Structure 1
Amino acid sequence: MLETIDIEPQRAGFSSSRLSDAVAFALANEINWSRNIDDQLGKGEFEPPPWNEILGPTTPRGGPAGVIMRHGRVAAIWGDERRADMTFSVAKSYLAILTGLALADGLINDVNDRVADTSLDDHFTSAQNRDITWLHLLQQTSEWEGALFSKPDLIDRNRQLGAEPDNSRKGQHRELGAPGSHWEYNDVRVNRLSLSLLHLFRRPLADVLRERIMDPIGASNDWSWNAYRNAVVTIDGVEMPSVPGGSHWGGGLWIGALDQAKLGQLILQRGAWNGQQLLSEAWVAAMLTPCAINPEYGYMWWLNTDRARYPSASASTVAAVGAGGNTILVEPAHDLVLVARWLKGAALDPLIAQTIAAIGA
């Protein structure tokens, strides 16, 4: 039976008409991506052949969708808020949450510990990798060198992000520095974090997430976290999927906008839900602390330091962000959660502005 959703813009402190205008804006600004994700990835969205080989499952995407919540109330919904679509790098932020659970369980003593001391494989034994800490992996400063599930870290070296990134040097050799010396958005290294967490929990990460986070916050059973076809490892004699922190090569977290809004609300509430502390408040604070060499990034969450990313939002705003215009935005100054799916990148800040302008109008 589907959950009944009360949509209460006025009780959430919004002008219904002004908020309707914001929703109309979101619907009118769908990203220019094919609805067939295979086609989008196959034409070299992230890199040219043969490095763009799809290793995991894909699913056709839906249309623009989203949810706006304020004061814990659903104020607006557009599109199909329950459709479990691919989320791309939004999944990275879920890996940070899982790392917090590993710390709470004593599987990690401190994020400054070396991964080599606890991760049960030989990918951290080289001179380049042996001093990498959990903090380095979380902040994307690890400079980890190697290949994982047939993808070398080289594939994302020199990768640039932004509205008009220059990726002419992406995939070209770059001399690696010491761990912590260079920030680089690298999906292979993120997937290396995921595999390390799998070794710690010794059970599929999706099961841990479902039991510890998603079920307690009332998420649906429709979401899934899908591995590459070659990303199966044996732990304690049992084959388990090692899930990716994105959908760069297929797979990844497939989830609906309403479930994502609930996750955003958990972060807004500093890890608390209905009287339970599902995620340590100290961990949420650490996760949203700026990286020393990239103040717009925390532990796999994007930050709005100096309002650089989202000028219309407060500096305390944080976001889980994925390709294709997928965003979970948490805006504490207005007690606001905004989830947008398949939105043009340039439209996100205007959508934030229109949403905030609708408060109390």
Structure 2
Amino acid sequence: MKRIYCLLFGLVLSLPVLGQDLYFPKRNEVWKKAETRQFNFKTDKLQEAVDFAMQNEYSGSRDLRRAILKGFEREPFHEILGPTKKRGGPAGIILKNGYILASWGDTQRVDMTFSVTKSFLSTMAGLAWDQGLIKNTDDKVGSYIWDGTFNGNHNSKISWEHLLQQNSDWSGELWGLKDWADRPAKEGGLDDWKFRKLNEPGTVMEYNDVRVNVLAYSLTHLWRKPMPMVLKQELMDKIGASTTWRWFGYDHAWTEVDGVQMKSVTGGGHSGAGLFISAEDMARFGMVFLNNGKWAKEQLISEAWITKATKPSVPNINYGYMWWLNQKGARYWEGVPEHLFYAAGFGGNFIVVDQENGLLIVTRWLEPQKVGEFVKLVYDSF
């Protein structure tokens, strides 16, 4: 019975999409709201979801410097190394076919977005793959980056895919941060962790920002440009994003390419830095993935890349190329479609993409363990 309901629900939600173009706002255009009866949903039920998001604000301090230090206090040597910013209150947008069904909070406020940045970083790899800078994601990164970052019996085995799926177990130090000190295992002492046996690349996923930043460093040298410049030129300008977003690295994370000093950015913010962006610009980014790589009729990211990026990895069925997947695993959200995928960041920052139903959800500063319940409330309104 549950499966029949889900199939019928998917059909009902999908019906308005048929024969109808998606709406893509121009730069600085006031985002259009859905007209009355344009889509079939229950307004009161959707308001319940919005109220839930407003009432379940992330419990950490609005002073994100304090929230970061508290959230990662068990990490040895942890400190703030890049910019931080005090955050606003809960905010978000729910879009159907690009039209606003509901919004709350200040959707134009620029805030830190933490590990949502990883999905942007993954996209920089996708653009490189589309343009032939990366021939194959199974290629060893050491054949592209030969400065010693991928030397040694273990690191030399690491491919682009391993970095993108966070299962490389890259071992070393970058910008003064040691890989083993980032989210160390709870069992055993630090000395045991430092001298642990390394996992074969591709076999075990470990969420680790040092290794994500190794990917950012590698892509900086691959593109021969800072990642914010690539993001701006290849994507954000083309989708009409505002001029307010910024992508930071650690204060001392400078590298030289072609005689030019450039900052190597981070893929998260748990030592500061990362992407600072508004909910509306997050929604524009999400719309590209909702439309299988297109902004309006312009193909910006290939469909082939999005398919690769949202394919479950072998060690973790809920993780692709720095996108989370709603498969039946440890991160499964009950009562919502399994085909959706999402970007997720510390403090309750999410971009949820449902291509099949034309539904896009951006929510900020929602208590993270409440997000599955919130998303289900959104789907219950249809």
| Alignment TM class, shorter chain as reference | over 0.9
CA contact (8 A) 1:12 1:74 kept: no
SS at match of 2:100: strand
SS at match of 2:124: helix
Counterpart for residue 260 of structure 2 = 238
Counterpart for residue 22 of structure 1 = 49
Letter of the 1:97 counterpart: T
Query: How has the CA–CA distance of structure 1 residues 22 and 278 changed in structure 2, closer, same or farther, with 3 Å as cutoff?
Result: same
Indicate the larger mover: 101-110 or 13-22: 13-22
Q: Which of 56, 60, 63 is matched with 1:33 structurally?
A: 60
Alignment of 1:65 with 2:91, yes or no, is yes
Q: Which of 34, 50, 59 is matched with 1:8 structurally?
A: 34
Counterpart for residue 319 of structure 1 = 342
Query: How has the CA–CA distance of structure 1 residues 94 and 352 changed in structure 2, closer, same or farther, with 3 Å as cutoff?
Result: same
SS at match of 2:343: strand
Q: Cα distance, 1:46 vs. partner?
A: 1.7
Give the structure-1-normalised TM-score: 0.93
Alignment of 1:83 with 2:106, yes or no, is no
Counterpart for residue 154 of structure 1 = 180
Instruction: Structure 1: give runs of 5+ residues left out of the alignment.
Output: 160-166
CA distance in 2, matches of 1:169, 1:60: 35
Alignment of 1:276-291 (within 5 A): 276-291=298-313
Q: Which of 354, 367, 371 is matched with 1:331 structurally?
A: 354
Q: Deviations over 1:65-106 (max 9, x none)?
A: 111111121111111101111011111111111101111121
CA distance in 2, matches of 1:37, 1:230: 20
Q: Cα distance, 1:314 vs. partner?
A: 0.6
Counterpart for residue 217 of structure 2 = 195
Counterpart for residue 126 of structure 2 = 100
CA contact (8 A) 2:205 2:315 kept: yes
Q: Cα distance, 1:42 vs. partner?
A: 2.5
Q: Cα distance, 1:296 vs. partner?
A: 0.7
Q: Cα distance, 1:313 vs. partner?
A: 1.5
Q: Deviations over 1:192-212 (max 9, x none)?
A: 000000001111111111111
CA contact (8 A) 2:112 2:275 kept: yes
Alignment of 1:206 with 2:206, yes or no, is no
CA distance in 1, matches of 2:125, 2:56: 35
Q: Cα distance, 1:228 vs. partner?
A: 0.4
Q: Deviations over 1:220-260 (max 9, x none)?
A: 11110011011111111111110000001000001111111
Q: Which of 140, 148, 153 is matched with 1:122 structurally?
A: 148
Counterpart for residue 162 of structure 1 = none
How many percent identity over aligned positions?
42
The structure having more radius of gyration, on CA atoms, is 2
CA distance in 2, matches of 1:290, 1:70: 26
CA distance in 2, matches of 1:170, 1:139: 27
Instruction: Structure 2: give runs of 5+ residues left out of the alignment.
Output: 1-26
Counterpart for residue 294 of structure 1 = 316
Q: Cα distance, 1:9 vs. partner?
A: 6.5
CA distance in 1, matches of 2:268, 2:283: 18
Q: Cα distance, 1:158 vs. partner?
A: 4.5
Aligned length: 351
Give the structure-2-normalised TM-score: 0.88
CA contact (8 A) 2:83 2:273 kept: yes
CA distance in 2, matches of 1:7, 1:52: 44
Alignment of 1:212-291 (within 5 A): 212-291=234-313
